Every structure is written in C-alpha cells, then in structure tokens.
Amino acid sequence: MINSEVPRLIIVADNPLQRMALADAVAHSGYDVIHSIHPGHLKAEHIEAQPSLWLLDVEHEDHVLDQLGDVPLMVGISQAPSSANKKAYTIWLKSLHAKLTKILGDAPPLLTEMIDDKGDNVPTPLANQPLSKVQANAKVEALREKMHQASTLTVKPVPKRPAPPQRINRAAADGSLPDWQYVCLLAASMGGPEAVKRFLDRVPVNLPVTFILVQHIDPTMQAVLPRILSRHNEWQFDLVDANTATVSARVPSLRLGSGHILLVPATRQVEFGNDGGVYAHASIQSNPLTYQPWPGKYKPSINDVMRRASNAFGARLITIVFSGMGDDGSEAAHEVLDAQGTIWAQTASTCVCASQPNEVRATGTVAYNGSPEALADYLQQYVAEQVMVG
C-alpha cells in the first residue's frame, strides 16, 4: 500500500513467540508495528487504526475475519524457527521480508545489507539499528516518484468498442451447453485481492458470465483467497490443487460455470476447451518427471492464461486488469484483441500499485477504464447489451 507515511502493521497471532518473530521481521523491513496482539484481545480501536497491512496467524481465521471486515491482510504465514537456529531463522526472515516488500513497496537497504546470500548472519536487533527519518523520507519520496511515473505514461489511443460477437453455443462432449455467455478473466497482482473483492461484491451472481481469476500470490496463501473474496457475496470458487485429477487431453478436470470463479493455481498450468472445460497439467506431486511450472517469472502467468483463454473463447473473452506490480499481461494484450476479445483496466488512481494496468494501457488495447465498482457496473451493462443484440 502506497501512502504518505512509512507503512504501519498490526500483528494478530495465537503464539506469543510467533508475534515476537513477526514484529522482528516487520521492524527489520523498515515498517512500523503499531500493535501485536492475541486474537482474543482484538478490539474496535485496533480496527479503527486502519493499518497498511494486517498480519494474521491464528487457528480460527473466520472469526477474526468477521471482526476485521474487508481489510488488507496477509495470511498463510509459516511458523518462525527458533532464533537459536540462526541460519533457519534468517532464511525465514528473508522470506517474510520479500513478501512484505512485494506488498508494501521497495525494501529499504537496511535488511539486505545486514543479511548475506548464505544466510549465515542474523540481523542486529533494530533497537541498535533504527530506521532514521532521513531513510524513511527517502523511501516515501521514491514511492511518490514511482506513482508519478506510472501516472504520466504515454498511452496510445483507446480502440473503438468491437462489434457484438455472434452467440456461440459449443456443446460439451456429453451434449450439455454452457450456462454462460461470456468468460471474464480477472488479472491481478499487488493490491489485487482488495480490488477484485470490491468488484465481485457488486456483480450479481446470476449474470451469464463465468470468471477466471489469475492472481499473483504465494502458493501457501492461495487456499485462503476464496474465503476472503467470497465473504459478503455468493460467488463459488473452483480450485485446481495438487489433488485435482489430470484425466486426459479429452476429459476435463473440471468445467467453468455461471456463478463460479476458477482460481488459476500458482503451481499447476491449466488449458481451456472452447466449451469451458479446464484441463490441468500434471502436478509435481503426481508426476515430478513431467511437471512443468508456469513459464516466466510470474506465477501464475497472466500472459499465458490470456493467450490460452483467447484461443479457447475468442470474442466471448473479457479481460479485466486490476491493481498490480510489473507488466504481466501486456505481451498478450494484442493477441486477445486479434481473437476479437476485449480488455478493460482499473484506473491508476484507484490502484494500490498501478504499474500492471498502466503497462497494459500503454499497448493501446484497453477499451474501458474504471474503478472496481465502475468496472462491475460496466460489465453488467456490456453483457445486457450484447445478449440483447446477440
């Protein structure tokens, strides 16, 4: 989250040793811990503090999530090793540090200078190495400069809205017809869950649309995402995990359906049939010899999912690019348009990080820009118009 101050975090964890370790990691990353509490001590005043991020490591997550509501949070945090095991503890610190800086912004030089690549040195407690005001101000200025650069990108003219596609009804192998008319691909990275939730909360579940969510995320956190995104709405999530069968090239692992959202896995590639069939590649657990991760540096790859979805669904594909860091999706944008699909994007001013939608905008392929709520309203209008014409 980018704001005018050093990011502030609240830690909620069952184990007091875990709370201490999390506070240590946050402090060494250059951020402020404003509260570190047991879930039983969570009060309204903590929620009203509106931290940049909540770190949640509790057994009964649902109860705490009900109290917090829709807030930026990190879950799925691994247990910290004992500080007596210096090497393991340092590796854990570095891993959490990388996740925090991916969400909250570039890391200050403090941690990376104090930990070498071998992980043999445990950082000196921050009480002896405080983050100075000069360092904090420099960090804020760097973030402001990044925002300014993102907001001043030269964007090519927006293409005209394509003509309504012809209604396509391709039957599955069993003769059944899909219960959707459009496939909506939601592409998101840093800041994406918050934006996607705002979007989904506003889209009626009976719209003749099925969704594919491609969210850059740590695989250990992916299973928690549906619980967060489906709170206060009726959307159903379909997961491809290590236990999802890889049947054959002709029999899908599962099918896209209206009222459902396919969560594309970070650790398994998937393909699509034009009837909505989802074909999962072999998992590393089922076949380590043939396992192939997503190509490129992003997991899952938005570029690859866009290409595969455009090949399968053509003019029935709507791609929406939400908040995120990097440029994933920009390479495949013209391929989506070549297949008669359409692309929309979240406005920079409503993003936690605007670089991903800005990079796609810079390709000149984005037909509509809006906040998550505006995108949801526009989707309903677009589908209604196209269905009437079709």
Task: Tell me what pLDDT residue 248 has.
Answer: 52
| CA neighbor of 220 nearest in space, from 286, 288, 266, 269 | 266
Cβ atoms of 356 and 327 within 8 Å: the answer is yes
CATH C-level class of 8-149: alpha beta
- Match domain 172-389 to its CATH number in 3.40.50.180, 3.30.420.40, 2.30.30.40, 3.40.50.720: 3.40.50.180
Residue 27 has a pLDDT of 84
From 9, 166, 189, select the one nearest 96 (Cα to Cα): 9
Half-sphere exposure for 301 (CA within 13 Å, toward CB): 18
Q: Is the pLDDT of residue 332 over 60?
A: yes
Average pLDDT for the chain: 79
Residue 178 CB neighbours (<10 A): 22
pLDDT of residue 243: 61
User: At 169, which amino acid appears?
Assistant: N
* Tens of pLDDT, residues 31-75: 889 999 999 899 989 988 889 889 988 887 778 888 887 788 888
How far apart, in whole angstroms, are the C-alpha atoms of residue 315 and residue 112?
Answer: 47
Domain with CATH 3.40.50.180 in the chain: 172-389
pTM: 0.64
d(CA 362, CA 365): 8
Residue (of 50, 58, 53, 4) closest to 26 by Cα position:
53
Mean pLDDT of 205-230: 89
What is the tens place of the pLDDT at every residue in 91-144? 888 888 888 887 776 533 333 323 333 333 334 333 333 444 444 445 444 444
Q: Compare 314 and 66 and report the one with higher pLDDT.
A: 314
Closest CA to 216 of 236, 188, 195: 188
SS3 letters for the chain? CCCCCCCEEEEEECCHHHHHHHHHHHHHCCCEEEEEECHHHCCHHHHHCCCCEEEEECCCHHHHHHHHCCCCEECCCCCCCCCCCHHHHHHHHHHHHHHHHHHHCCCCHHHHHHCCCCCCCCCCCCCCCCCCHHHHHHHHHHHHHHHHHHHCCCCCCCCCCCCCCCCCCCCCCCCCCCCCCEEEEEEECCCHHHHHHHHHCCCCCCCCEEEEEEECCCHHHHCCHHHHHCCCCCCEEEECCCCCCCCCCCCCCEECCCCEEEECCCCCCEEECCCCEEEECCCCCCCCCCCCCCCCCCCCCHHHHHHHHHHHHHHHEEEEECCCCCCCCCCCHHHHHHCCCEEEEECHHHCCCCHHHHHHHCCCCEEEEECHHHHHHHHHHHHHHHHHHC
Question: Higher-confidence residue: 389 or 316?
Answer: 316
Cα separation, 367 vs 185, whole angstroms: 15
* pLDDT bucket at 161, cuts 50 / 70 / 90: very low
How far apart are the C-alpha atoms of 370 and 225, rounded to whole Å?
A: 24
